[in-house]
């Protein structure tokens, strides 16, 4: 069922006191007028894998009931989910612009125009998140652009990337290729480190877990390759195009197909462990908590699958298609729906714990960390929830 937009009045709520003391912050100057604009962000982000769903983790995140801390309109339809970046919350839109907000008090810090044709959610890369990585459709061939957050200058470009999220860790960027396969680039200068072939092109982003990269292609091949040199470790066949970004949990890797089947494989050997047909278009990202795998569906249902056998543990039904990936803490699954609500569901039982009416349908993924949850509607409103 297609999402029908619901628009309503937008109210900006008062900000709240910062939960953390942030010291040594670099000054922030963002676009606010017409000329002489500067756009750079504080370098307070810890080294790591920014904004990607790689290894599944159950952790003590923010739990419902939540309070709406602030909300803001952006200028157009969101492109991907919001991104937590240290003291900032970033949202890319199809206008195309990158909007920046102070995540603690809701202050609108500004917006930065980016190149036309941006076609995938951004990623922050480098030891301090110094580079903003953007995929662009380009003229003739898609490109990947690495922009310095402080100078706004393009550090390097790579021709041939596909319009799908990249995976990144510190000094390495893993890029899905338009022609099929993966390429590893050095974050510093975009130089090629290795290249791995796949049978067909990729529509979902790759996943990094330890020293292994996992990716699925349009022919249904799920492959594990070495992060060190791109050599193939194993390859398995899923029977239909791989729609979701793989999710790794201990000894298993999970992925879903365009035909509505979720499958589990042994992370070391690629041996098929189980498969569960769900019969609808599944979300491009999965979540895991308390030994259940969570997947949303266009049939309006949030499914919890047993990680050992793939059986359905519980189902939670909304009134609209679930398009964006869910996110989970150790106790709660959060998901947005085309019905204009964001939901919090008990991981163990599938019972509703909390919900909130938004100003429009949600087709992007929920963003979650230990102190807050964010969701952006198709009506162009960014919401941040927390305990206050």
pLDDT value, residue 3: 73
Using an 8 Å Cβ cutoff, are 227 and 212 in contact? Answer: yes
276 is a domain residue:
no
- Residue (of 301, 302, 214, 196) closest to 252 by Cα position: 214
For 225, the 3-state DSSP assignment is strand
Q: φ, ψ for residue 246 (rounded to 5)?
A: -60, 150
DSSP string, 110-136: EEEE--TTB-S--EEESTTS-EEEEEE
Q: Containing domain of residue 363, as a range?
A: 57-107+284-388
Instruction: Tell me which residue has tokens 């035909």.
Output: 259
Distance of alpha carbon 328 from alpha carbon 286, whole angstroms: 9
231 is a domain residue:
no
Q: What is the pLDDT of residues 127-164, one digit of tens each?
A: 667 888 998 887 777 889 998 887 888 999 999 888 88
Q: What is the pLDDT of residues 257-311, one digit of tens each?
A: 999 999 999 999 999 999 999 989 999 999 999 899 999 999 999 999 999 999 9
CA atoms within 13 A on the CB side of 29: 8
27 is a domain residue:
no
For 163, the 3-state DSSP assignment is coil
> Predicted confidence band at 254 (pLDDT cuts at 50, 70, 90)?
very high
Mean of all residue pLDDT scores within the chain: 84
299: domain CATH number is 2.130.10.10
79 is a domain residue:
yes
Q: Is the peptide bond before 96 cis (omega within 30 degrees of 0)?
A: yes
The mean-pLDDT minimum among 97-101, 166-170, 176-180 falls in 176-180
pLDDT value, residue 127: 62
Give the number of residues written for the chain: 388
- Residue (of 369, 376, 281) closest to 329 by Cα position: 369
- Residue (of 284, 283, 243, 249) closest to 264 by Cα position: 249
Q: State what percent of residues in the chain have pLDDT above 70.
A: 84
21 is a domain residue:
no
Evaluate if residue 318 carries a pLDDT over 70: yes
Distance of alpha carbon 281 from alpha carbon 241, whole angstroms: 12
> Predicted confidence band at 48 (pLDDT cuts at 50, 70, 90)?
very low
Q: State what percent of residues in the chain have pLDDT above 90.
A: 64
70 is a domain residue:
yes
Using an 8 Å Cβ cutoff, are 269 and 285 in contact? Answer: no
Average pLDDT over residues 340-347: 98
Task: Report the DSSP beta bridge partners of residue 206.
Answer: none
**How many domains are there within the chain?**
1
Average pLDDT over residues 95-123: 90
More confident residue, 356 or 19: 356
Evaluate if residue 12 carries a pLDDT over 50: no
Distance of alpha carbon 102 from alpha carbon 215, whole angstroms: 34
Distance of alpha carbon 61 from alpha carbon 143, whole angstroms: 36
362 is a domain residue:
yes
Task: Report the DSSP beta bridge partners of residue 177.
Answer: 161
Helix and strand counts by DSSP (H, E) for the chain = 0, 32
385 is a domain residue:
yes
């Amino acid at each position: 069922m297609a999402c029908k937009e619901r628009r309503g009045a937008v109210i900006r709520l008062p900000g709240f006191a910062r939960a953390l003391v942030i010291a040594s912050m670099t000054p922030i100057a963002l676009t606010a007028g017409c000329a002489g604009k500067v756009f750079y962000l504080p370098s307070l982000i810890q080294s790591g894998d920014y904004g990607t769903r790689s290894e599944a983790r159950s952790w003590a995140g923010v739990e419902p009931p939540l309070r709406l801390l602030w909300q803001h309109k952006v200028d157009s339809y969101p492109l991907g989910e919001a991104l937590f970046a240290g003291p900032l919350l970033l949202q890319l839109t199809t206008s195309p612009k990158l909007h920046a907000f102070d995540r603690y008090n809701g202050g609108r810090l500004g917006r930065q125009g980016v190149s036309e044709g941006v076609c995938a959610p951004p990623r922050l890369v480098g030891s301090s998140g110094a580079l903003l990585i953007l995929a662009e459709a380009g003229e003739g061939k898609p490109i990947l652009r690495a922009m310095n957050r402080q100078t706004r200058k393009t550090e390097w470009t790579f021709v041939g990337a596909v319009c799908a999220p990249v995976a990144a860790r510190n000094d390495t960027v893993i890029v899905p290729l338009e022609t099929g396969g993966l390429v590893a680039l050095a974050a510093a200068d975009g130089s090629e480190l290795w290249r791995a072939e796949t049978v067909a092109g990729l529509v979902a982003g790759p996943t990094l877990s330890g020293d292994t990269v996992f990716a699925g292609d349009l022919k249904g091949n799920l492959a594990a390759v070495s992060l060190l040199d791109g050599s193939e470790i194993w390859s398995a066949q899923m029977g239909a195009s791989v729609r979701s970004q793989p999710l790794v949990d201990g000894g298993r890797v999970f992925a879903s197909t365009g035909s509505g089947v979720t499958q589990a494989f042994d992370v070391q050997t690629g041996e098929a462990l189980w498969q569960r047909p769900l019969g609808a278009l599944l979300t491009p990202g999965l979540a895991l908590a308390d030994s259940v795998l969570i997947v949303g569906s266009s049939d309006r249902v949030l499914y919890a699958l047993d990680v050992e056998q793939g059986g359905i543990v519980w189902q939670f039904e909304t009134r609209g298609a679930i398009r964006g990936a869910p996110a989970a803490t150790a106790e709660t699954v959060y998901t947005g729906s085309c019905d204009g609500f964001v939901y919090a569901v008990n991981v163990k039982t599938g019972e509703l714990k909390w919900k909130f009416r938004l100003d429009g349908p949600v087709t992007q993924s929920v963003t979650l960390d230990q102190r807050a949850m964010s969701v952006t509607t198709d009506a162009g409103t960014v919401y941040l929830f927390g305990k206050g």
